[in-house]
Amino acid sequence: MVYGFFAALTVAPMFRGFGESVGLDVSSESALAAGMVMGVMIIPFVSSLSDDVMNAVPQTLRDGSFALGATKSETIKQVILPAALPGIVGAVLLAVSRAIGETMIVVMAAGLAANLTANPLEAVTTVTVQIVTLLVGDQEFDSAKTLAAFALGLVLFFITLCLNVFALSIVRKYREKYD
């Protein structure tokens, strides 16, 4: 909620003012503002988890690389990163899952406009916000709004499932190399 408030009061007007100075028509509730604040929210999460994973790579792998004459950069590129890649992919997947489920930043910074566009300067919404919007109020279970909300939830589930399958394939590929 704090990130959404920051996006609505600081970041979105800054982007709108910058866009006007350049001659672009930037919406006061743009996807760009919400995306930037979402990135600010997620970067520390990914970097902290990735740092923990890279520090968990056994010292014997590093020492063996140095003993074979590898430089520090070669050790990082060819030993540490491949050994830590499953954990880094897991950190990115956790961050993406958090971003997919985030609603308050999008509601406050990007608005509620159900707009299908590739232009990040326009107002948009997300699937999670639409689910909340459709389920507000008293509807019967078999109403069109309730069924649409369940359909959106199913789409969100399949997107998350595909991300998990992709991440698992990367983790399996590199885990075989170091087991």
166: amino acid identity, one letter: F
Domain count, the chain: 1
pLDDT tens for residues 109-168? 777 777 777 777 887 777 777 787 788 777 777 888 888 888 988 988 898 888 888 878
In this prediction, residue 127 carries a pLDDT of: 78
In this prediction, residue 152 carries a pLDDT of: 87
In this prediction, residue 177 carries a pLDDT of: 60
Closest CA to 93 of 175, 172, 178, 167: 167
Helix 127-134 with 81-101: angle, nearest 10 deg: 30
What CATH number did the domain enclosing 170 receive?
A: 1.10.3720.10
Instruction: Find the length of the chain.
Output: 179
In this prediction, residue 37 carries a pLDDT of: 86
The reported pTM is 0.69
In this prediction, residue 2 carries a pLDDT of: 79
Residues 149, 155, 157, CA angle at the centre, nearest 5°?
A: 105
pLDDT tens for residues 68-77? 999 999 999 9
pLDDT tens for residues 97-109? 777 777 777 777 7
Residue 48 confidence class, pLDDT cut points 50, 70, 90: very high
Closest CA to 36 of 64, 70, 77, 4: 4
Supply the range of the domain harboring residue 98: 2-178
Secondary structure of residue 128 in the 3-state scheme:
helix
Report d(CA 166, CA 154) in Å as an integer: 18
Residue 12 confidence class, pLDDT cut points 50, 70, 90: confident
Report d(CA 160, CA 41) in Å as an integer: 20
